[in-house]
Structure 1
Amino acid sequence: MRVEGVSLQVRMVLNALSKADTAALATLPKMAMPEAPKQAPQSSPTLQTAANVSVLLAAGAALESPIDKRRREARPAAKGLDMLDKLHAAGVKGLPQKEVLDALAQWAEAFELPEDPELADIARDIELRVRVELAKHDRVV
Structure 2
Amino acid sequence: MRIYGPNGTTLGTPASQARRTSSGTFVLPDTSSAQETRAAAAPKAAANIDALLALQGIEDPVERRKRSVARGKTALDVLDDLKMGLLSGNLDASTVMRLRDAAANLKSSSGDPGLDSVLSEIELRVEVELAKAGQA
TM-score by length of 2: 0.54
- Checking the alignment, whether the CA contact within 8 Å between 1:80 and 1:104 is kept in structure 2 is yes
- Matched positions, count: 94
- Checking the alignment, whether the CA contact within 8 Å between 2:71 and 2:105 is kept in structure 1 is no
Q: Does 1:125 align with 2:121?
A: yes
Q: In 1, distance between residues paired with 2:132 and 2:89?
A: 16
* Equivalence for 2:75: 80
Q: In 1, distance between residues paired with 2:55 and 2:104?
A: 31
CA offsets, 1:91-134, max 9 Å, x none?
23322321111221233245314221101111111111111111
Flag the 1:77–1:93 CA change in 2: closer, same or farther, 3 A. Answer: same
Q: In 2, distance between residues paired with 1:56 and 1:113?
A: 20
Q: In 2, distance between residues paired with 1:82 and 1:117?
A: 22
- Checking the alignment, whether the CA contact within 8 Å between 2:82 and 2:95 is kept in structure 1 is yes
- Checking the alignment, whether the CA contact within 8 Å between 1:113 and 1:123 is kept in structure 2 is no
- Checking the alignment, whether the CA contact within 8 Å between 2:78 and 2:99 is kept in structure 1 is yes
Q: 1:29-108 to 2 correspondence within 5 Å?
A: 41-43=41-43, 47=46, 50-51=49-50, 53-54=52-53, 56-57=55-56, 61=59, 64=60, 66-108=61-103
Q: In 1, distance between residues paired with 2:105 and 2:55?
A: 28
Q: In 2, distance between residues paired with 1:44 and 1:51?
A: 11
- Checking the alignment, whether the CA contact within 8 Å between 1:91 and 1:97 is kept in structure 2 is no
* Equivalence for 2:32: none
CA offsets, 1:2-56, max 9 Å, x none?
xxxxxxxxxxxxxxxxxxxxxxxxxxxxxxxxxxxxxxx42276x3673463265
TM-score by length of 1: 0.52
Q: In 2, distance between residues paired with 1:133 and 1:121?
A: 19
Higher helix share: 1
Unpaired stretches in structure 1, ≥5 consecutive residues: 1-40
Q: CA-atom RMSD, angstroms?
A: 2.8
Flag the 1:69–1:105 CA change in 2: closer, same or farther, 3 A. Answer: closer
